[in-house]
Amino acid sequence: MKQNIFHSLEGKNVSFKELSTTDAEEIHQYASDKEVSRFIGWRLMNSLQDTREHIETMVQREAEGTHLYASIVQKSTREIIGTAMIFNFDHEANKAEIGYVFHQDHWGKGYGTECVSLMSVFAFESLNLHKLYASVVDANVGSARILVKNGFELEGELRDHYFIEETYFNAMLFGKIQTKK
């Protein structure tokens, strides 16, 4: 039931929909972009078949109840522009991690900020989580900015945590605690 709600989240400019292999070509447009995949923890999708298999894996994880995924749709064009995810659920501590990825053509347009806002409201109100968190490569300044705009606080850094393209990067750890009304 919570999946259905997550898949139907809607904001002013973006809405969510269920991930599907029928959308593999649209998803492949950003999943195969080296700049997009560089800091998100997904391997680069070199073929449409790689992307289909990755989508199948995400759908399976969601069916198992360990992850929530949604395609992010630009409302004005109905085009899939990214993927939103809530994962690493810790039911005892009542927390989960969030992530998001966008087609490079849609960076810097406010879609990420709106997406994280939708996920935060859903996580706190529908899932009744106590805390959301995100781990961001320190070079991914845009992603960090999205989190800060949504009230996430920098909680710390892990030095040389990521090794990407023969270079070490710090992990910036962000968190947001549900505020009781």
What is the spatial distance between Cα 48 and Cα 71, in angstroms, rounded to a whole number?
Answer: 17
Which residues make Cβ contacts (< 8 Å) with residue 21, sequence separation at least 6? 52, 55, 56, 59
Rg from Cα positions in the chain = 16
Number of separate domains in the chain: 1
**7 belongs to a structural domain:** yes
Q: What is the CATH number of the domain that holds 80?
A: 3.40.630.30
Q: What is the DSSP letter of 150?
A: T
Q: Per-residue pLDDT tens for 25-44? A: 999 999 999 888 888 877 88
**153 belongs to a structural domain:** no
**64 belongs to a structural domain:** yes
**46 belongs to a structural domain:** yes
**65 belongs to a structural domain:** yes
Percentage above 70 pLDDT, the chain: 97
Q: Which domain holds residue 76?
A: 2-130
pTM, two decimal places: 0.93
pLDDT band, residue 166 (cuts 50/70/90) = confident
